[in-house]
Amino acid sequence: MPSLPNDNRLLRDYEHGFVSAVEEELVPPGLNEEIVRLISRKKNEPDWLLEFRLGALRAWQRKTEPRWALVRYPPIDYQSIRYYAAPKRWTAGEGLDPEIVNTFERLGIPLDERRQLAGVAVDAVFDSVSVATTHQKLLEEHGIVFCSFSEAVQRVPELVRRHLGSVVPPADNFFAALNSAVFSDGSFCYIPPGVKCPVDLSTYFRINAAGTGQFERTLIIADRGSEVSYLEGCTAPMRDENQLHAAVVELVAYEEATIRYSTVQNWYPGDDEGRGGIYNFVTKRGECRGPRSRISWTQVEVGSAITWKYPSCILRGDDSVGEFYSVAFTNRRMQADTGTKMIHIGRRTRSTIVSKGISAGESVNTYRGLVQVLPGAEQARNHSQCDSLLIGNRCSANTFPVVESENRTAIIEHEATTSRISEDQLFYLQSRGVDPETARSLIVNGFCREVFKQLPLEFAVEAVKLLEIKMEGSIG
């Protein structure tokens, strides 16, 4: 089924790079009102949602692509992209295309009821649609709604309507507007008051079709006193062309609710010459709407040709807490411009930022962060730690931390370091029998420890392995 040259070194490096032979339904390339209406119709959407999309489209048409990030790429022709691709056989009634089941199987995600992963409910998204969501029964017992976005629009339209765009408005930025106009599918999750979600919830995104963008939309609502841990994983086939991924994720945490959102992003990064790879322009934002609520973002970014991503927290509720833990690894010609925004609105709001950037090859790795304290945020606190590690001397690392404080009682601390793997550390490990490659990956893992500690255990193990694979051959 996969048609890849066997001697390709990348294969070892990017084992998810296969293409599945699935029959897909595609809309013609291009973006205009017709296409937006077509997508909305295919999904049988209510009028308010169509209006939401059309409003976003108009906003997008007025906007220009942002150019402030430290990433370089040829102009994207938005009219040549296909905004919708769906496998023909994916609804439960018709039976899932076995090739899709196979695809997820190869990615380590069994969709079969009897063999589902223990302890985690998975929503599997294949190109533009969610194809399966596991552990439905258990979740329903707790009153938890966890399903594809399209399904949520039908099942709990009021919840969706009240929250969609309430954290990331449709006209927020160029890519968010694009997503709001054409978003295809994604995951929806609602945790009722006082419920501690019994399993981790997870979405696995898979881009398969060529010439297609992926524009998923995720909305997670944690009602008063509830708790949920959400994991996101992503892969794509290796293709010579660049593919666009412009997602929007919105989180809402009410009073005393906690949302932990973890991502391991391993989109195809392109080859040695920088050919191909995913352009990852993502808007992720959470709002701590109620007092004492907490939102924690943990991301491990090891893929994509370009990453443009700033998972942020709006700390509206008094005593609410925002956290951002990030590892961004770039290699070859990869470019990452990532960081976070912490907006302190409520009193005694606290935020923590831990960013670990590792650059190798000829890559560019940038941390960009904003800590904003509004006048009412009495005694707000922030601590930021941004560390960069350079491997080799053709890569670069940048740190742009911005602080805007309008309240004198706020305490804001920022620490930043840039280092290389020291020869002393390498020799020390070598003198204990460890080969240099293993030694480097051990040192890098140590460098990332604070972030990996935040991940659920299996995810952490996965992240460590992934980083090891990515580091192989990164020393030129």
Partner 1 sequence: MTDARPLLEVENLEASVAGKPILKGVSLSIRGGEVHALMGPNGSGKSTLSNVLMGHPDYEVTGGAVRLLGEDLLPLAPEERARRGLFLAVQYPVAIPGVTTVQFLKACVEAVRGREATKAAVFLRELRENARLLDLGEPFLNRPINEGFSGGEKKRMEILQMLMLKPRMVVLDETDSGLDIDALKIVARGVQRLIGPEIGVLIITHYERILTHLPPDHVHILVDGRIARSGGPELVRELEERGYDWVREPATAAASEPD
What is the x/- site pattern for partner 1, positions 297-326, by CB under 8 A?
------------------------------
Q: Which of 241, 436, 465, 475 binds partner 1 (CB under 8 A)?
A: 436
Query: Looking at beta carbons only, is 77 or 423 nearer to partner 1?
Result: 423
438-467 residues in contact with partner 1 (CB under 8 A) are: 438-439, 442-443, 445-450
The answer for residues whose C-beta is within 8 angstroms of residue 275's C-beta and 6 or more apart is 240
Q: Which of 2, 66, 98, 427 binds partner 1 (CB under 8 A)?
A: 427
Cβ atoms of residues 134 and 121 within 8 Å: yes
CB of 51 to partner 1, least distance (A): 50
CA angle 64, 70, 76 (to 5 degrees): 40
Q: Is residue 475 part of the contact set for partner 1 (CB under 8 A)?
A: no
Query: Looking at beta carbons only, is 8 or 422 nearer to partner 1?
Result: 422
Cβ atoms of residues 317 and 287 within 8 Å: no
Q: Is residue 67 part of the contact set for partner 1 (CB under 8 A)?
A: no
Hey, what are 90's tokens? 């994916």
Give, in order, the Cα–Cα distances in Å from 282 to each of 3, 63, 204, 322, 337.
Answer: 30, 16, 16, 19, 11
Query: Looking at beta carbons only, is 206 or 356 nearer to partner 1?
Result: 356
Q: Is residue 167 part of the contact set for partner 1 (CB under 8 A)?
A: no
DSSP single-letter state for residue 437 = H
Query: Looking at beta carbons only, is 49 or 426 nearer to partner 1?
Result: 426
Q: Is residue 430 part of the contact set for partner 1 (CB under 8 A)?
A: yes
Distance of CA 409 to the CA centre of its chain: 34
Q: Is residue 48 part of the contact set for partner 1 (CB under 8 A)?
A: no
SS3 assignment, position 310 = coil
* Rounded distance between C-alpha atoms, residue 173 and residue 170, angstroms: 8
Q: Is residue 385 part of the contact set for partner 1 (CB under 8 A)?
A: no
CB of 446 to partner 1, least distance (A): 3
CB of 449 to partner 1, least distance (A): 4
387-426 residues in contact with partner 1 (CB under 8 A) are: 422-425
Query: Looking at beta carbons only, is 308 or 452 nearer to partner 1?
Result: 452
Tell me the DSSP string of 90-122: -STTT---HHHHHHHHHTT---SGGGPPTTEEE
* Rounded distance between C-alpha atoms, residue 438 and residue 459, angstroms: 21
The answer for residues whose C-beta is within 8 angstroms of residue 156's C-beta and 6 or more apart is 145, 188, 190
Q: Is residue 138 part of the contact set for partner 1 (CB under 8 A)?
A: no
Query: Looking at beta carbons only, is 273 or 435 nearer to partner 1?
Result: 435
CB of 229 to partner 1, least distance (A): 23
CB of 423 to partner 1, least distance (A): 7
Rg value, the chain, Cα: 21
CB of 31 to partner 1, least distance (A): 45
Tell me the DSSP string of 197-247: -SSEEEEEEE--STTB-B--EEEEEE-TT-EEEEEEEEE----SSEEEE--
Q: Is residue 434 part of the contact set for partner 1 (CB under 8 A)?
A: yes
Residues that bind partner 1 (CB under 8 A): 422-425, 427-436, 438-439, 442-443, 445-450
